[in-house]
Amino acid sequence: MTLAARCRSVAVVCALVGGPRRSLHGWANMAPAISRRCVATALPVLALLASLPSGGERTARACGDEAYEAQGVVVSFAPNRSAVRIAHDVIGGFSRAKTTAFEPRSPDQLQGIDVNARVRFRFTATDEGHLLLDLIVKK
């Protein structure tokens, strides 16, 4: 593995285990196969990542999936309540205000939710393009 490839690996691993908030020196001591030069090269990358906007409600999930929170009004349901369309406010880091269809993780999630209900909800945007409801509650 080249030095540049190792540095990219350190940047990715450091970002996954807490990014610039974690002590890089302590982490480098735990992995002696990675040189201090490589860790030093990764620092500017981590500093750049730390300066990017976080998107507020967004939190990282496994395999690139992203979780978001929003609120809106239920517009309609798909047959058998296999999806719900919600007219939502701006979702920071994800979408402008519009109407979007979300898939419940289970049919029970939509019990007690009716058309025109004001709701708060949390969903996961998967790498495959699905928008899966994690939680939906009436306001």
Return d(Cα 48, Cα 30) in angstroms, integer.
24
pLDDT tens-digit map of 14-47: 444 444 433 344 444 444 444 555 445 544 544 4
pLDDT tens-digit map of 70-116: 999 999 999 999 999 999 999 999 999 999 999 999 989 999 999 99
Record: fold of 60-138: OB fold (Dihydrolipoamide Acetyltransferase, E2P) (2.40.50)
Spatial contact of 99 and 91, defined as CB atoms under 8 Å apart: no
Spatial contact of 89 and 70, defined as CB atoms under 8 Å apart: yes
Q: Where along the chain do its domains lie?
A: 3-51, 60-138
Residue 125, judged by CB atoms within 10 A of its CB (0-12, 13-18, 19+), counts as: buried
What pLDDT was estimated at residue 136?
A: 95
The secondary structure of the chain as a DSSP string is: --HHHHHHHHHHHHHHTTGGGS-HHHHHHH-TTS-HHHHHHHHHHHHHHHHS---TT-EE-GGG-EEEEEEEEEEEE-GGGS-EEEEE--BTTTB-SEEEEEEESSGGGGTT--TT-EEEEEEEE-TTS-EEEEEEEE-
**Looking at the whole model, is its pTM more than 0.85?**
no
